[in-house]
A = this chain, B = another copy of it.
Amino acid sequence: MSIHAHAHFEEGNLSYVASFRDKGELAIPPAKHLAIVTCMDARIDVVAQLGLKEGDAHIIRNAGGSAKDSIRSLVISQRLLGTREIAVFHHTDCGMLTFTTPQLREKLKASAEADDGEKIADAVDAIQFLEFSDLDKAVKEEVEYVKVHPLILKETEVTGWVYHVESGKVRRVV
């Protein structure tokens, strides 16, 4: 197993620094007033996949691309940094389609060492893992969740999308 990936970060950073040019002048607020929510999945490079570039958009990523799990970040994005559009992406072949919260809670509790059992059970039961079973339906529900959330600005334009890992294509759902 290849651990210690961090041992190569500084070396891997050299070519980016060498071609950095004027990116140091980019402002904090996203140029396109856009926040994107998408999955942490390793196959996703949302900026490249949408033809965007550094400076254009806030990119929020977590397991599944959950907007529910992004409200803190979205509020900061809108109120402090001026974004007014939110695009929520889920993707095909997502890990979130493969389990349920009760299953994962059981797995975590079963793996606990005896002296950690109670602490782990409490921590596990406090987490909703936010899995889903129907991709398009989940995207629609996320968009609706954002649209009616009391802390999201009413004038926000919210769209929902699926990224297809098999082809690299994006498809609008809502």
Contact = CB atoms under 8 A, between A and B. Distances in A.
A164 B159 CA distance: 32
How many of chain A's residues touch chain B, expressed as a range?
35 or more
Nearest to A128: B72
Given A42-B55, A71-B127, A127-B75, A16 B48 contact: yes
Contacts of A5: 32-34, 56-57, 85, 87
Interface string A118-129: 011001100111
A14 to B, nearest CB: 8
Contacts of A120: 150-151
A23 B26 CA distance: 31
20 contacts: A3-B33, A3-B85, A4-B85, A5-B57, A6-B87, A6-B161, A9-B172, A11-B51, A12-B51, A24-B167, A26-B43, A30-B42, A42-B57, A42-B59, A60-B61, A62-B70, A63-B73, A69-B72, A79-B111, A80-B98
